[in-house]
Amino acid sequence: MKSGAPAISQASEIAPTALRTAPGGPADATGQSEVALRLRASSEYVAIPAFALTIAAVLFSIFLIAIGKSPFDFVDNIWRGGFGTPFSFQNTLQRSAPLILTALAVAIPARIGLIMIGGEGALVLGGFAAAAVAVPMVGFVPPWLTLPIMAIAGVAVGALWVGLAGFLRYARGVNETISSLLLTYIGIAIMNFFVEGALRDLTNPNKPSTKPIGDAYMVGKIPGTDVHWGFFAGVALAIILQLVMTRTTFGFAARVTGGNLRAALAQGLPVGRLIVSCAMIAGACAGLAGFFEVAAIQGRANASLAAGYGFTGILISFLARHSPLAIVPIAILFGGLVAAGGLIQRRMGLPDATVLVLQGLIFVVLLTSETLYGRFAIFKTVKVRDRT
């Protein structure tokens, strides 16, 4: 199976604890060194990505200097546009909401050994479904009833869409990476088909869109902030999914399947159901992101839904090593990057693709850094016997 990373990380976390009791002796048995050892073992998963980020930053700085821009200006603008003021930080949190959700859409299938990159399509279709069910209800059904129905529509359509890629993987062995991406293009085409045709708002000549759902039907802000509830939903889902994946039978079975498919089959685990469930959870997360984009930001469904959140989510999930909890801070970091994009464009005269270049660079360097795991003695808690 591909994407062995999660499985390997699990194995190497467990291995030292099991081995330690044998040769370690009394010094290792004390509680303090136990914690220290655990910290040392897990610090590898922080240190290497941090190192990769540093390398990417250096490379990007060289790139900026080569085109005659100052890297310090760049950092300054990101700070100001993304984190420096309460306004910009709240904007960042708002932008990170869909990123958390689309990253979860990559992380959950990755745990079961699938690389699903269909989050963008599920987001677009989920958002479109939410808008499509809302339009006939606006004015007749009160908002407190409409919004949950919209959310359910978005989640259900997203779950079906990515669930389809999971089902095809299990039932027909169709490569899920390619099929989920094809489904993204098909999803965007379906939305365009309706938005330019049957469901088009004819009063809006500028951009083909559905009818607006109206201010009364929009999702509000978290009290005391300027951040919509999507951020709360993302963080809550990240915590719940972290618990589900690490503390429940379902999560354990999924990780066993991702680690070793044959062992899972031999154990009689319902592999097909697990794969489809994980894919559906992923799609549900992305569909929810689409619902919030429509109900909290755009107010209608149109081509702006395909803003690339799904693709940035892939990067975030890999950076978080597919751990739902780690996704949250990294998504906020990237939310800041996205939020500062406009400022970078205006102040530094750089094209909007600059953020894309930086993201691609981080992604490439990060994946390259996978090769460094297990190479540094400093992270090793027990002496590994010579393997030859």
Partner 1 sequence: MNSSLGIVLIAMLGGAIRVSTPFMFVAVGECLTEKSGRVNLGLEGTLVLGAMVGYAASYHSGSPWFGVFAAGIAGSWLGAMHGYICKLPRVNDVAVGIAMMLFGTGVAFFFGKPYIQPTAPRLGSIPLGAWSSNADLASALNVNPLFFVGILTAIALGWALRNTRWGLIVRTVGDSAAAARAMGISVDLVRFLTTTVGGFLAGVGGAFLSLSYPGSWNQGLSSGQGLMAVALVIFARWNPVRCVLAALLFGGAGAIGPSLQSVGITQGYYFFNAAPYILTLGIMIATSSAKRSARDMPGELAMAK
Could you give the count of Cα atoms lying within 13 Å of 31 in the half-sphere of its Cβ?
Answer: 0
- Cα separation, 207 vs 306, whole angstroms: 14
- Cα separation, 333 vs 331, whole angstroms: 5
- For residue 120, the minimal CB distance to partner 1 (Å) is 11
- Cα separation, 180 vs 350, whole angstroms: 32
- For residue 225, the minimal CB distance to partner 1 (Å) is 31
Closest CA to 74 of 366, 359, 337: 337
- For residue 145, the minimal CB distance to partner 1 (Å) is 32
Q: Which of 15/357 has CB closer to partner 1?
A: 357
Q: Which of 93/181 has CB closer to partner 1?
A: 181
Q: Enumerate binding residues for partner 1 (CB under 8 A).
A: 1-5, 8, 115, 117, 168, 170-175, 177-179, 181-183, 185-186, 189-190, 192-193, 196-197, 311, 314-315, 318, 351-354, 356-361, 363-364, 366-368, 370-371, 373
Q: Which of 216/353 has CB closer to partner 1?
A: 353
Token pair, residue 229, equals 């509830």
Q: Which of 136/351 has CB closer to partner 1?
A: 351
The SS3 assignment for 113 reads coil
Q: Which of 32/371 has CB closer to partner 1?
A: 371
Q: Which of 295/365 has CB closer to partner 1?
A: 365
- For residue 26, the minimal CB distance to partner 1 (Å) is 35
- Cα separation, 103 vs 172, whole angstroms: 26
- For residue 241, the minimal CB distance to partner 1 (Å) is 21
CA 218 vs. chain centroid, Å, equals 24
Report DSSP letters for 237-284, one per residue. Answer: HHHHHHHHHHHSHHHHHHHHHHH-HHHHHHTT--HHHHHHHHHHHHHH
Q: Which of 146/209 has CB closer to partner 1?
A: 209
- For residue 24, the minimal CB distance to partner 1 (Å) is 27
Q: Which of 64/134 has CB closer to partner 1?
A: 64
- For residue 287, the minimal CB distance to partner 1 (Å) is 19
Q: Three-state SS string across 329-376, please?
A: HHHHHHHHHHHHHHHHHHHHCCCCCHHHHHHHHHHHHHHHHHHHCCCC
CA angle 352, 355, 360 (to 5 degrees): 130
CA angle 193, 194, 196 (to 5 degrees): 70
